[in-house]
């Protein structure tokens, strides 16, 4: 039996100590100190953005024994290129909610699973890690986690582990998604192929495409296939979990009325946000800067980027949209999800 460590209990009482990574070979958490300002100043809680910070490597059982009680936790699950990082930034309201943008611990659970990890052990560590992530900065806050979309195969397990959790399923309409990928060039096209490979490993791609058909896909067809697989999963989650726990939202409706959607989202998550807190969030830097780069950026610029991308790639995008619509009809995949949360 692991002994109780008072010093570790004191350290874990400071929520800035994040369970950043999990090493299954050593059965240890890598704890990294990132305060609220530090989390707000970077787009994601990934190694790329947390360089130069030395982790404390601690035995998992010791961490679990010393951890304080978890706060309420909720989720923003998403399909990428859909303003999810912007939304997580807005929802980080002192006294209301602390948000976590793509903590790598959750990606580690996916990687462990892909390496053949034993399912029951992964589930145990995932549950414990979610409890460690659910440590807000201020008393009374909830924690809202926006995982990377490579984590989406674990959504059913995460929602079962946290039966009081609410979730938002956020996605970009397919035309917006494809235009973003086309505009961003080779690295984005490579990323959607890597995502599709991971979705195949997770058994998420049920679109009637054999290995030969998959190899013959263009970059944007691969992107659309991954998007359809995600829509298929999201639609199933809405049916099985119900609209009380899970609601949908597309990025175009979100950006058309951010204030109204922020108001209904805090009510969906059940967090105690008054109008002053919402107004403060809307007046902050999130709406006027690019969530990834920190450069000045407006919704008008976002719309202009889409127009420019479609001017260059419109023929390819249109062909892929028709192809995707045929697959969606064949497999009864909704292009727009049910139970949308409306402002």
Contacts 24+ apart (CB under 8 A), 272-275: 272/96, 272/140, 273/93, 273/96, 273/97
> Degrees (nearest 5) of the Cα angle 284, 289, 294?
110
- Cα 152 to Cα 311: distance, rounded to the nearest angstrom: 32
Domain ranges of the chain: 6-330
Q: At what angle do helices 299-330 and 174-184 cross, to 10 degrees?
A: 120
pLDDT at res. 148: 97
CA–CA distance, 92 with 220 (Å, rounded to integer): 34
Q: 164: Cβ–Cβ under 8 A, 6 or more apart, which residues?
A: 72
Cβ contact 208:330 at 8 Å: yes
Give me Rg for the CA atoms of the chain.
Answer: 20
Give the tokens for residue 324: 């995707």
Tell me the C-alpha distance between 73 and 191, whole Å.
29
Closest CA to 122 of 103, 137, 108: 108
C-beta separation of 79 from 170 below 8 A: yes
How far apart are alpha carbons 115 and 137 in whole angstroms? 34
For 144, left (φ over 0), alpha (ψ -120 to 50), or beta?
Answer: beta
The whole model's pTM is what? Answer: 0.95
Place of tokens 């009510």: 267
- Enter the tokens of residue 137: 């900065």
Fold for domain 6-330?
Rossmann fold (3.40.50)
- Contact call for residues 257 and 86 (beta carbons, < 8 A): no
Residue 293: its pLDDT value, please?
79
d(CA 98, CA 269): 12
Q: What pLDDT is attached to residue 2?
A: 54
Residue-level pLDDT, tens digit, the chain, 343 residues: 455 688 999 999 999 999 999 999 999 999 999 999 999 999 999 999 999 899 999 999 999 999 999 999 999 999 999 999 999 999 999 999 999 999 999 999 999 999 999 999 999 999 999 999 999 999 999 999 999 999 999 999 999 999 999 999 999 999 999 999 999 999 999 999 999 999 999 999 999 999 999 999 999 999 999 999 999 999 999 999 999 999 999 999 999 999 999 999 999 999 988 889 999 999 998 888 887 777 877 888 888 988 898 899 999 999 999 999 999 999 999 999 999 999 8
């Amino acid at each position: 039996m692991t002994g109780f460590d008072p010093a570790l209990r004191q350290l874990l009482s400071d929520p800035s100590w994040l369970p950043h990574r999990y090493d299954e070979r050593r059965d240890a958490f890598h704890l990294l100190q990132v305060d609220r300002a530090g989390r707000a100043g970077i787009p994601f809680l990934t190694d790329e953005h947390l360089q130069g910070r030395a982790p404390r490597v601690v035995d998992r059982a010791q961490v679990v024994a010393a951890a304080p009680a978890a706060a309420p936790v909720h989720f923003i699950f998403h399909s990428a290129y859909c303003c999810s990082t912007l939304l997580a930034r807005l929802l980080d309201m002192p006294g209301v909610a602390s948000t976590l943008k793509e903590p790598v611990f959750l990606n580690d659970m996916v990687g462990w699973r892909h390496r053949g990890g034993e399912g029951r052990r992964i589930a145990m560590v995932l549950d414990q890690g979610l409890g460690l992530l659910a440590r807000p900065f201020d008393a009374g806050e909830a924690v809202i986690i926006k995982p990377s979309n490579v984590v989406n195969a674990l959504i059913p397990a995460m929602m079962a582990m946290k039966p009081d959790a609410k979730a938002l399923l956020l996605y970009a309409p397919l035309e917006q998604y494809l235009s973003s990928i086309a505009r961003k060039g080779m690295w984005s096209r490579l990323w959607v192929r890597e995502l599709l490979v991971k979705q195949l490993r997770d058994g998420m791609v049920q679109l009637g495409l054999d290995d030969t058909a998959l190899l013959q896909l263009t970059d944007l067809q691969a992107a659309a296939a991954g998007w359809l697989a995600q829509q298929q999963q999201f639609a199933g989650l809405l049916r099985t979990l119900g609209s009380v726990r899970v609601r949908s939202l597309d990025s175009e409706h979100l950006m058309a009325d951010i204030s109204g959607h922020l108001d209904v989202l805090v009510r969906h998550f059940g967090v105690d946000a008054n109008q002053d807190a919402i107004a403060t969030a809307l007046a902050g830097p999130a709406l006027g800067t690019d969530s990834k780069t920190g450069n000045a950026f407006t919704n008008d610029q976002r719309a202009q980027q889409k127009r420019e991308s479609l001017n260059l790639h419109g023929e390819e995008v249109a062909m892929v949209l028709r192809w995707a619509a045929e697959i969606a009809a064949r497999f009864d995949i909704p292009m727009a999800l049910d139970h949308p949360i409306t402002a």
